[in-house]
Amino acid sequence: MDVRFKIGADGTSIDDSGLKYDINDFDAWAVEAALQLKEKAGQGEVVVLSLGPDSVAETIRKALSMGADKGVHLKTDKIPFDGFAIASALAAELKDGGYDLIFFGKMSPDSSNGIVGPIVAEMLGLPCVTAISKLDIADGKGTAKRELEGAQEIVEFPLPAVLTVDEGLNTARYPSLKGIMAAKKKPLEVKPAALGDKKVAVKKLELPPERAAGRIIGEGAAAVPDLIKALQTEAKVL
Amino acid sequence: MANIFAFAEARNGELRKVALEAVTAARKLADSTGGEVLALLVGAPGISAKAEQLAQHGADVVFVCEHEGFTQYNPEATAALAAEKIKGGGYRAAVFTTSAQGRDLAPRVAAKLGVSLVTDVIGVELAGDVLTVKHPMNIGKVIATVDIAATPAIIAIRPNTFTPAQNAKAGRVESVQPVGDPSASRVVVKELIQGGGGKLDLADAPVVIAGGRGLKAAENFKLVEDLADAFGNAAVGATRAVTDDGWRPHSDQIGQTGRLVSPDLYIAVGISGAVQHLAGMRTSRTIVAINKDKDAPIFKVADYGIVGDVFEVVPALTAAVREARRGH
């Protein structure tokens, strides 16, 4: 699905009329990870917390229909850009929750900063492992795998902890019809988000310059010599 | 005059290229106000030998912290030390990188300092009191211009965007002590598993050859590997469809949920060009696409396209690249 974004009239936000929001992949894997741990333990509770405008409620419902037990919606007018402000509001809500593990997606594809999870961990004083692609929990300790550029790290940490989820950890389940029906009856608490002062502000949004139109060199292997020539003389990359 | 802090990323006792990029970006900012660049390098005993390279790229001072507890990346102790150095230094900005390590470290440091940060920065400017950065968002389809009024401004730059530049400075080495005991961190990296022997990583390779479903089977990635081999300086990537099918490891995936690459040359082999894939490679300098479907969206972003069967075109291209490189 190719989404074309339009910049809003204020020049600093996306015009989201006609856009449909959905849970992003990283967050769906985070929810899945929590559900799998609960199922394995045979007990426990999975709470889904999200922050944003009304559209967020639907995202929380989706997580509830996957199997989460209850939702908390910290309400804002818009989707804030400032990850520190978002983390402040989330940490205030999570502080007294007594959670064993707090999962985040490693980043939101909207603001694309990927900072909220580790900032929340610092605010709560909890150990944190980011961008995990494998996880084992046993005896109050965890072992996770992190994907690096061309390498991986095996990381150990004590619980409670904050983890952010990368691709590869699991495959998120689709909500079943039964799950969707059950989600309608699950509790969803709505309260205002305590964002605090914003420390960074979007001054302007713009669409990236289109790439200059390229050209089809030709068809089949016969076009290879012309491509080589173009790479050598025009692009100068060979 | 504003001094700028730069974090120099190392892995396994070696500086990573992004360390030089961070120092280069910091140098530019410092020069715009007549300030100095102070870099922080942490590692196992012996890492101080790498300070010279940071000086060559523009560090006036290199803080070096050597400790056995820094043999592997130590997120908690590194963040504690970086935050303390930044706090005491009166910096206008601190430059980190948007690598796996930088993404982990920079937000921890910002949180300790009580400030926000912007990652994946592709442009930065300091005008008067305001530091302004460019940051791609919404899977690369929107570019935000963001003002960071807070001091210090914490930014993490996108790899392969700020080309390392020689700009030799004194690079006076100052040995610094860790904050607390690095061996007592709660989060411990037990093992570093290095990727395939000496192969270039996607983030560092000047040439990236990526394969998609058009290759039809895992074993046909041999074609892509042979082409990469012909270039000699190429890394191999893949689309999400391919990594989801297990043809290639997840770490090879280029796109929205995978790696961001921005090489000099990107060759898409049998890739249709889904928007999620384009998000990971559209800033490549030159893009070549080979696909049998002339209407594939990849041709809209490609500088050069060949419409044809990858099983015919790619071996011919591999042979031609070998030939061209032999002529050098």
Window 177-206 of A, Cβ < 8 Å to B: 198-206
Residue B75 — very low, low, confident or very high, per pLDDT cuts 50/70/90?
A: very high
Q: Domain check: are B58 and B166 in the same one?
A: yes
Distance of CA A45 to the CA centre of its chain: 21
Residue A180 — very low, low, confident or very high, per pLDDT cuts 50/70/90?
A: very high
CA–CA gap between residue A227 and residue A236 (Å, rounded): 12
Q: Is the pLDDT of residue B37 over 80?
A: yes
Fill in the amino acid letter for B228.
Answer: A
Average pLDDT of A35-44?
97
With H, G, I as helix, E, B as strand and everything else as coil, classify residue A183.
Answer: helix
The pLDDT tens digits for B55-69 are 999 999 999 999 999
Q: Domain check: are B171 and B64 in the same one?
A: yes
Q: Domain check: are B133 and B221 in the same one?
A: no
Residue A181 has a CB neighbour count (10 Å cut-off) of 11
Q: Which of A26, A168, A200 sits opposite B250 (nearest CB)?
A: A168
For an interface test with B, the pick among A227, A232, A236 (most B C-beta atoms closer than 10 Å) comes out as A227
Q: Residue B198: its pLDDT value, please? A: 55
Q: Domain check: are B83 and B172 in the same one?
A: yes
Q: Is the pLDDT of residue B197 over 60?
A: no
Contact A113 B99 (CB under 8 A): no
Q: Is the pLDDT of residue B83 over 60?
A: yes
Last residue of a domain, one of B149, B184, B219: B184
The dotted CATH code for A6-192 is: 3.40.50.620
CA–CA gap between residue B136 and residue B142 (Å, rounded): 6
Contact B42, B81 (CB under 8 A): yes
- Which residues of chain B make contact with A15, given a CB cutoff of 8 A? none
Average pLDDT of A45-60?
96
Residue-range definition of the domain harbouring residue B72? 4-184
Q: Domain check: are B17 and B109 in the same one?
A: yes
Residue B194 — very low, low, confident or very high, per pLDDT cuts 50/70/90?
A: confident
Q: Domain check: are B50 and B81 in the same one?
A: yes
| CB contact A16 to B (< 8 Å) | no
The pLDDT tens digits for B13-22 are 999 999 999 9
In a domain, B196, yes or no: no
Name the residue among B232, B278, B285 with its Cα closest to residue A235.
B285
Q: Residue B196: its pLDDT value, please? A: 59
Q: How far is B51 from chain A (nearest CA, A)?
A: 22
Q: Residue A21: its pLDDT value, please? A: 87
Distance of CA B100 to the CA centre of its chain: 8
- Which residues of chain A make contact with B201, given a CB cutoff of 8 A? 149-150
Q: Is the pLDDT of residue A1 over 60?
A: no
The pLDDT tens digits for A133-162 are 999 999 999 999 998 888 899 999 999 999
Q: Which of A130, A152, A225 sits opposite B193 (nearest CB)?
A: A152
Contact B204 A221 (CB under 8 A): no
Q: Which of A112, A118, A200 sits opposite B116 (nearest CB)?
A: A200
The pLDDT tens digits for A96-144 are 999 999 999 999 999 999 999 999 999 999 999 999 999 999 999 999 9
DSSP code, position A205: E
* Phi-psi category of residue A68: left, alpha or beta, with phi > 0 → left and psi -120 to 50 → alpha: beta
Contact A221 B99 (CB under 8 A): no
Contact B193 A113 (CB under 8 A): no
Q: Residue B328: its pLDDT value, please? A: 61
Q: How far is B227 from chain A (nearest CA, A)?
A: 13
Written in H, E and C, the secondary structure of A72-130 is EEEECCCCCCCHHHHHHHHHHHHCCCCCCEEEEECCCCCCCCCCHHHHHHHHHCCCEEE
- Which residues of chain A make contact with B294, given a CB cutoff of 8 A? 216
Q: Which of A110, A116, A156 sits opposite B137 (nearest CB)?
A: A110
CA–CA gap between residue A11 and residue A5 (Å, rounded): 12
Structural domains in chain B (count) = 2
CA–CA gap between residue A179 and residue A191 (Å, rounded): 25
Q: Enumerate the domain spans of chain A.
A: 6-192
Q: Residue A2: its pLDDT value, please? A: 61
Q: Is the pLDDT of residue A191 over 70?
A: yes
Q: Is the pLDDT of residue B321 over 70?
A: yes
Contact B145 A121 (CB under 8 A): no
Last residue of a domain, one of B132, B151, B184: B184
- Which residues of chain B make contact with A167, given a CB cutoff of 8 A? 243, 250, 253, 257-258
Q: How far is B172 from chain A (nearest CA, A)?
A: 30
Q: Domain check: are B295 and B214 in the same one?
A: yes
For an interface test with A, the pick among B115, B142, B160, B278 (most A C-beta atoms closer than 10 Å) comes out as B142
Q: Residue B308: its pLDDT value, please? A: 97
- Name the phi and psi angles at A188, rounded to 5: -130, 105
- Which residues of chain A make contact with B135, given a CB cutoff of 8 A? 112-113
List, in sequence order, every residue forming a beta bridge with A101; answer none if it has no partner. Answer: A161
In a domain, B174, yes or no: yes
Q: Which of A4-13, A174-183, B105-114 has the lowest mean pLDDT?
A: A4-13
- Which residues of chain B make contact with A168, given a CB cutoff of 8 A? 250
Q: What CATH number did the domain enclosing B136 receive?
A: 3.40.50.620
Q: Domain check: are B144 and B269 in the same one?
A: no
Q: Domain check: are B172 and B112 in the same one?
A: yes
**Count of CB contacts below 8 A, A vs B?**
274
Q: Domain check: are B12 and B152 in the same one?
A: yes
- Which residues of chain B make contact with A204, given a CB cutoff of 8 A? 144-145
Q: Domain check: are B180 and B214 in the same one?
A: no
Average pLDDT of B107-121?
97
Q: Residue B200: its pLDDT value, please? A: 80
What pTM was computed for the model? Answer: 0.92
In a domain, B211, yes or no: yes
- Which residues of chain A make contact with B299, given a CB cutoff of 8 A? 214, 216
Q: What CATH number did the domain enclosing B259 receive?
A: 3.40.50.1220
Residue of A nearest to B206 (CA): A237
- What is the helix (H) or strand (E) element at residue B105, kind and residue range? helix B100-113
Within 8 A by CB and 6+ apart from A190, the residues are: A57, A73, A75
Q: Residue B88: its pLDDT value, please? A: 87
Q: Residue A16: its pLDDT value, please? A: 87
Contact B144 A202 (CB under 8 A): yes
In a domain, B194, yes or no: no
The pLDDT tens digits for B199-233 are 788 888 899 999 999 999 999 999 999 999 999 99
Q: Is the pLDDT of residue B99 over 70?
A: yes
In a domain, B195, yes or no: no
CA–CA gap between residue B292 and residue B315 (Å, rounded): 15
Q: How far is B170 from chain A (nearest CA, A)?
A: 31
Q: Domain check: are B95 and B153 in the same one?
A: yes
